[in-house]
Chain A
Amino acid sequence: MAEPFLDIRNLRIEATVYPPGEPARDIVIVEDVSLTLEKGKVLGLIGESGAGKSTIGLSAMGYGRGGVRIAGGEVWLNGRDIMKGGNRGFRRLRGKEVTYVAQSAAAAFNPAKRLMEQIIEAALKHGVANARQAEARAVDLFDRLGLPEPESFGRRFPHQVSGGQLQRAMTVMALVPEPDLIIFDEPTTALDVTTQIDVLAAIKRAIRDTGVAALYITHDLAVVAQVSDEIMVLRAGSKVERNTAENIINNPQEDYTRALVSVRSITHEEKRPTETPILVARSISASYGKLVQVLKDVSVEVHPGQTLAVVGESGSGKSTLARVLTGLLPPFEGEVTFAGRSLAPALAQRSKEDLRELQMIYQMADTAMNPRQTVETIIGRPLGFYFGLSGRKRRERVVQLLDEIEMGPEFLDRYPAELSGGQKQRVCIARALAAKPKLIICDEVTSALDPLVADGILKLLLRLQKAEDVAYLFITHDLATVKAIADSIAVMYRGELVRYGPKSEVLAPPFDDYTDLLLSSVPEMRIGWLEEVLAHRKMESAGH
Chain B
Amino acid sequence: MRIPISALIGLFFTGGFFLMAVFAPLIAPYGLAEVVGDVWEPRSADHWLGTDNIGRDLLSRMIYGGRTTILIAALATVLSFSLGSFLGFTAAVIGGWIDQLMSRLVDLLMSIPTLIFALVVLSVMPVNITTLILVMGILDSTRVYRLSRAVAVDINVQDFVEAAKLRGERRSWIIFREILPNALSPLVAELGLRFIFAVLFLSTLSFLGLGVQPPASDWGGMVKENKDGIVFGIGAALVPAAAISALAISVNLVADWVLNRTSDLKGGRGG
Q: Which residues of A contact B (CB under 8 A)?
A: 18, 20-23, 326-328, 347, 350, 352, 355-356, 359-360, 362, 364, 367-373, 381-382, 385, 431, 435
Q: A20 and B262: CB pair below 8 A?
A: yes
CB distance from B112 to the nearest CB of A (A): 36
Residues of B within 8 A of A368 (CB): 159-160, 163
**With contacts A360-B166, A382-B167 known, is A367 near B261, CB below 8 A?**
no
Residue numbers in B under 8 Å from A347 (CB-CB): 165-166
- CB-based nearest A residue for B170: A385
Contacts of A22 in B (CB 8 A): 1
Consensus secondary structure, chain A interface: loop
Picked from B168, B178, B181, the residue with its CB within 8 Å of the CB of A352 is B168
Docked Cα-Cα span, A364 to B157, in Å, equals 13
Chain A residues lying within 8 Å of B264, measured Cβ to Cβ, are 20
B228 on the A face (CB < 8 A): no
Q: Check if B263 sits within 8 Å of A20, measured CB to CB.
A: yes
Chain B 157-190: CB-based contact to A (< 8 A → 1; otherwise 0)? 0111011011111000000011001100000000
A142 to B261, CA, bound (A): 50
CB pair B160 A328 closer than 8 Å: no
| Contacts between the two chains (Cβ within 8 Å), count | 54
A370 CB contacts on chain B under 8 angstroms: 160, 177-178, 181-182
Question: Cβ of A362: which chain B residues have Cβ within 8 Å of it?
Answer: 159, 163
Q: Tell me if B270 is interfacial: C-beta within 8 Å of chain A.
A: yes
Q: B2, B160, B271: which contacts A367 (Cβ < 8 A)?
A: B160
Chain B residues with CB under 8 Å of A373's CB are: 181
Q: Tell me the chain B residues, 222-271 only, with Cβ under 8 Å from chain A.
A: 261-264, 268, 270-271
- Provided the pairs A372-B181, A385-B169 are in contact, do residues A20 and B261 lie with their beta carbons within 8 angstroms? yes
Q: What is the CA–CA distance of A448 and B181 in the complex, to the nearest angstrom?
A: 26
List 28 A-B pairs, Cβ < 8 Å.
Answer: A18-B271, A20-B262, A20-B268, A21-B261, A22-B1, A326-B166, A328-B162, A328-B165, A347-B165, A347-B166, A350-B168, A355-B166, A355-B167, A360-B163, A362-B159, A367-B158, A367-B160, A368-B160, A369-B160, A370-B160, A370-B177, A370-B178, A370-B182, A372-B182, A373-B181, A381-B167, A382-B167, A431-B163
User: Are B167 and A385 interface neighbours, CB within 8 A?
Assistant: yes
Contacts of B159 in A (CB 8 A): 362, 364, 367-368
Q: How far is the CA of A160 from the CA of B163 in the complex (A)?
A: 36
Please report B residues at the A interface, Cβ cutoff 8 Å: 1-2, 158-160, 162-163, 165-169, 177-178, 181-182, 261-264, 268, 270-271
Residue of B nearest to A360 (CB): B166
Q: Give the residue of A18, A367, A369 whose beta carbon is less than 8 angstroms from that of B270.
A: A18
B189 to chain A: closest CB distance in Å?
13
Which residue on chain A has the smallest CB distance to residue B183?
A: A372
Partner of A355, one of B160, B168, B262: B168
Residues in chain B near residue A435, CB distance under 8 A: 167
In the bound complex, CA of A373 to CA of B158 (Å): 15
Having A359-B166, A362-B163, A381-B167, one finds 8 other A-B pairs with CB under 8 Å, namely A20-B261, A22-B1, A326-B166, A355-B166, A368-B163, A369-B160, A370-B177, A385-B168
Min CB distance, A365 to chain B, in Å? 9
Q: A364-B159, A370-B181, A370-B182 are in contact. Are A23 and B168 (CB under 8 A)?
A: no
Q: Is the CB of A21 within 8 A of B1?
A: yes
Complex contacts, A352 vs chain B, CB 8 Å: 168
Distance (whole angstroms) from the CB of A165 to the closest CB of chain B? 31
B181 closest partner in A (C-beta) = A372
Output the least CB separation between B132 and chain A (Å).
Answer: 35
Chain B residues with CB under 8 A of A355: 166-168
A-B pairs, top 3 by smallest CB distance, nearest first, are: A372-B181, A368-B159, A355-B168
Q: Write out the residue numbers on chain B whose beta carbons fall within 8 Å of the beta carbon of A359.
A: 166
How far apart sit A413 and B222, CA to CA, in the bound complex (Å)? 53
**In the assembly, what is the distance between CA of A435 and CA of B162, in Å?**
16
- Across the two chains, which residue of chain A brings its CB closest to B182? A372
Smallest CB gap from B270: residue in A? A18
- Output the least CB separation between A320 and chain B (Å): 14
Q: Are A371 and B182 in contact (CB under 8 A)?
A: yes
Please report the C-alpha to C-alpha distance between residue A385 and residue B271 in the assembled complex, in whole angstroms.
40
Across-interface contacts of B1 in A (CB, < 8 A): 21-22
Task: Give A369 to B181 CA distance when docked, in angstroms.
Answer: 13
Cβ-closest chain A residue relative to B155: A370
Instruction: List the A side residues contacting B181 at CB < 8 Å.
Output: 370, 372-373
Collect the chain B residues with CB atoms within 8 Å of residue A382's CB: 167
Q: Which residue of B lies closest to A443 (CB)?
A: B159
Taking the nearest CB of chain B, how far is it from the CB of A459, in angstroms? 24
Known A20-B261, A23-B2, A370-B178: A328·B158 in contact at CB below 8 Å: no
Write the nearest CB–CB distance from A453 to chain B, whole angstroms.
19
Distance between Cα atoms of A364 and B163 in the complex (Å): 12
Q: For residue B163, which residues in chain A have a CB less than 8 angstroms away from its CB?
A: 360, 362, 368, 431
With a cutoff of 8 Å between Cβ atoms, the chain A residues found around residue B177 in the complex are 370
Q: A21-B261, A369-B160 are in contact. Are A328 and B166 (CB under 8 A)?
A: yes
B168: chain A residues within 8 A (beta carbon): 350, 352, 355-356, 385
B140 to chain A, nearest CB (A): 26
Complex Cα spacing A431 to B166, Å: 12
